[in-house]
Amino acid sequence: ETYGKLNKDKTNAILILHALSGDSHAAGKYSAEDKHAGWWDNTIGPGKAFDTDRYFVICSNVIGGCQGSTGPSSVNPVSGKPYALSFPIITVGDMVQAQRHLVDHLGIERLFAVAGGSMGGMQALQWAVSHPDRVLASIPIATTSKHSPQQIAFNQVGRAAIMADPNFNDGDYYSGAVPKDGLALARMVGHITYLSDDSMHEKFGRRLRGKKTLGYSFNLDFEVESYLRYKGDAFVNRFDANSYLYITKAIDYFDLSLPSGALVKAVEKVKSKFLVVSYKSDWLYPPYQSKEIVKALMVNGVDVTYCEIDSRYGHDAFLLDEGEMSKIIRNFLENVAVRNKIAVPAGA
């Protein structure tokens, strides 16, 4: 999807990069009847961080996904059946290469900026490293240059839940029952990591759901239990289990320091200006991982700004911005535009 207008020089394009469960619908509603706007609607639009009165904003579904781009649920033209697990393993680099083809198709020589949180931040980093001449500014948010053992472990639990579902059928479930229980459980585990202890206390406490006393059974008692069940069930209705396997593997394999093994060397050819954002309460992608990125960039003389935001929302904070992140991004982009004499108004 795109928002705003591309200027005549094609210099005001911003590529928004989504996280694991995201898609190309980053902002707005398709109709007035839609219950929910795009996943980053609070930052994309007129006067917002990614101001569509000034910038041409692009967002596409990643390769391997299930919301428009080719993935394991897509039909293999040779067999006439969904690829399922015959789909090749993908990497974050593959996602970026697919996006590069899209940018080429749009006739855009250099992106004004790339931006994203979580897995989207990994893509923003990969863009700056793989295509240093095609990115003016990079904004990785709440992310890392490589997964820690803990981050890999959480993803493996989710994958194991999916593959242990009786309906998984080695990934070939498209003509029958889908592994909804396994996918729902994977989402429940994942969602816990997106929240902080403070946000869970504030949102749920130990409140009971629909009852006044404890049931002393294995039925759901607490609001937090019911919430996780709801999140898991809702996810099953919009996401493909195989895509979950492929995408989580891609981010586990992501290591920006490769092939040298040294992050400082990996970013030595970066030319874009950087804004790196982290959140104090984010224990999934803690601030130390963002600081490692900043340090490597600074060693190479890259123009980098680092902001650590005090939010109670944990990893989800980048999606639930209360205004501070948007202000930081808006000012950063304005500074980049002025310093590089970019005519960002849509009519320019």
Q: List, by residue number, the catalytic residues.
A: 118, 282, 315
Contact in structure between 59 and 1 (CB atoms under 8 Å): yes
Nearest 5°: phi and psi at 300?
Answer: -90, 10
**How far are the Cα atoms of 93, 94, 178, 209, 270 from residue 100, in angstroms, in the given order?**
10, 10, 33, 48, 17
Residue 207 to residue 4: CA distance in whole angstroms? 44
**Cβ neighbours for 158, distance < 8 A, ≥ 6 positions apart:** 185, 186, 187, 189, 190, 244, 248
Q: Give the number of C-alpha atoms closer than 13 A to the C-alpha of residue 131, restricted to the C-beta side.
A: 25
Helix (H, G, I), strand (E, B) or coil at 274: strand
The CA distance from 142 to 320, in Å, is 13
- Cis omega (within 30 of 0) on the bond before 259? yes
Tell me the sheet residues that pair with 51: 45
CA distance 5 to 126: 26
Distance CA 89, CA 250 (A): 8
Q: How many CB atoms lie within 10 A of CB 182?
A: 24
Q: Is 276 exposed, middle or buried (0-12, 13-18, 19+ CB in 10 A)?
A: buried
Instruction: Yes or no: say if 131 and 273 are a contact pair by the CB < 8 Å rule.
Output: no
Say how far apart CA 237 and CA 61 lie, in whole Å.
17
